[in-house]
Structure 1
Amino acid sequence: MSLASTIRMVLAPPHPAGRPFIWGGAALALVGLFLTKWLFWPALLFTLFCLYFFRDPERVTPTRHQVVVSPADGRVVLVGSAVPPPELGLGDQPLPRIAVFLSVLDVHVNRIPVAGVVTRIAYRAGLFLNAALDKASEDNERNALVVRMTDGRDVAVVQIAGLIARRIVCTVREGDRLEAGERFGIIRFGSRTDVYLPPGTKLLALPGQIMTGGETVIAELPALVTT
């Protein structure tokens, strides 16, 4: 990444979900400016951190129909097969899954991995375990979506709250038609995003690989056999 690209990403406008934190921190800093530096400096640092954390840079998404893009920035922690969350109604058989862990330094805006219609959104309350752990997909608070592609195949993406995350924001509704790479939500302060894919999907991501949400290709869907 070039220096100019890095600067544009760091200085990207914040996601609307961050505005209460940013304005709140700025207000405290302003009060502290006139009262005491012990309030001003922590409030200023908090405001600057929120500006960085909630940054929402633009992304260029590949347009090939058969590819799946990462739904989040971060590090791949799991690649393999797993049973999808039961609330999605995708059955009890393991499906190809890729899990991306987001640290507090990553962009936390989530993006749709494939183009299609949102057919189901299901929220489940839960714990706040370390999102890098495998069991976090079962025990943690989560919000899951099913996206049905034009060819009838389903792809699921799950927002999972992490150790210090306490708020999952989903900005789309059932019935919305979205393009690959479009924003659909954000998770505040550390989290994980899982993608469940159709059987036969070729997984291209590797554990430890760094993802760029909406841009990095993580899988290739199998071609449909027509008769």
Structure 2
Amino acid sequence: MTIHKEGRVLLLVLFLIFFGLNFGLNYLAVGQPWQAIVLAISAIIFFFFLQFFRNPTRKIEINEKQVIAPADGKVVVIEKTTEDEYFKGAERIQVSIFMSPINVHVNRNPVTGLIKYFRYHKGKYLVAWHPKSSTENERTTIVYELHKGVEILIRQIAGAAARRICWYIKEEQSVIQGKEFGFIKFGSRVDLFLPLDAKITVENGQITKGGQTVIAELG
């Protein structure tokens, strides 16, 4: 278990603020009962942010016939739909994973392949489970091309609290299944758009682990 690079500066700043606050109170308000309350609240807030930026080590088993979960969270959508941005209205199977503030927020490549398309879109901050969040919120769209010409689209979507989407990939880059490609801060959602012949292996409400849970098997 390590601390993700996106949180190291923030955690250091919080630690210094809380340390200075409680150190100062120790001299200015010696013996006051609310000293312990301030210390407890400081510790709770710090450990909340600490767990949010945790980056656990995951054992990844690469399988070119499988699509693995790009994120920890809960499956909230499994349905046939159309995708307009890249697939121009063609039907796909959409699988959406909601990431709460207590989930690990590292995003991992669902497949091994080539980044065929990447776009970042500014947008709104609707709650992540809102039906229009996929097309109106701040988001990225990433298309992976597999070696057989199969294309998988993934979309990072900011939620009401998530105000920063991070990514570490670019077009024409080759990537490996399970490796980190991004991070979303403070609650969010990830959508997958899969080929119609993909066999979905998860159910609505199922808890996923990024890099480990198999979302689908490719035809």
Superposition map of 1:67-216 within 5 A: 67-84=66-83, 86=85, 89-216=86-213
The answer to whether the 8 A contact 2:70-2:211 is kept is yes
Query: C-alpha separation between the residues in 2 aligned to 1:51 and 1:180?
Result: 27
The answer to whether the 8 A contact 1:29-1:39 is kept is no
Superposition map of 1:50-69 within 5 A: 50-69=49-68
The answer to whether the 8 A contact 1:169-1:185 is kept is yes
Letter in structure 1 aligned against 2:128: A
**Deviation of 1:40 (Å):** 5.3
**Deviation of 1:33 (Å):** 2.7
**Deviation of 1:39 (Å):** 6.5
Structure 2 residue aligned with 1:8: none
Query: C-alpha separation between the residues in 1 aligned to 2:41 and 2:83?
Result: 42
Structure 2 residue aligned with 1:33: 22
Stretch of structure 1 that moved more, 103-112 or 27-36: 27-36
TM-score, normalised via structure 2 length: 0.89
| Residues 37-75 of structure 1 deviation map (CA, whole Å, 9 limit, x = unaligned) | 586554443321111001111112232211100111000
Structure 1 residue aligned with 2:28: none
Query: C-alpha separation between the residues in 1 aligned to 2:103 and 2:84?
Result: 25
Letter in structure 2 aligned against 1:73: D
Query: C-alpha separation between the residues in 1 aligned to 2:185 and 2:74?
Result: 17
Query: C-alpha separation between the residues in 1 aligned to 2:117 and 2:89?
Result: 17
**Deviation of 1:155 (Å):** 0.7
| Residues 56-111 of structure 1 deviation map (CA, whole Å, 9 limit, x = unaligned) | 1111223221110011100000001222351xx22211211100001111111001
Stretch of structure 1 that moved more, 27-36 or 151-160: 27-36
In structure 2, the residue corresponding to 1:79 is in which secondary structure? Answer: strand
* Alignment gaps of 5+ in structure 1: 1-11, 223-227
Query: C-alpha separation between the residues in 2 aligned to 1:85 and 1:49?
Result: 38
* Alignment gaps of 5+ in structure 2: 26-34
The answer to whether the 8 A contact 1:28-1:43 is kept is no
Letter in structure 2 aligned against 1:174: E
Query: C-alpha separation between the residues in 2 aligned to 1:119 and 1:51?
Result: 35
Letter in structure 2 aligned against 1:119: K
Letter in structure 1 aligned against 2:172: G
The answer to whether the 8 A contact 2:198-2:216 is kept is yes
In structure 2, the residue corresponding to 1:94 is in which secondary structure? Answer: strand
Cα separation, partners in 2 of 1:85 and 1:125, compared to 1, 3 Å: farther
More strand by share: 2
Using the aligned pairs only, state the percent identity: 34
* 2:5 pairs with 1:16: yes
Stretch of structure 1 that moved more, 101-110 or 143-152: 143-152
Letter in structure 1 aligned against 2:74: R
Query: C-alpha separation between the residues in 2 aligned to 1:94 and 1:137?
Result: 16
Task: Provide the alpha-carbon RMSD of the alignment.
Answer: 1.6
In structure 2, the residue corresponding to 1:47 is in which secondary structure? Answer: helix
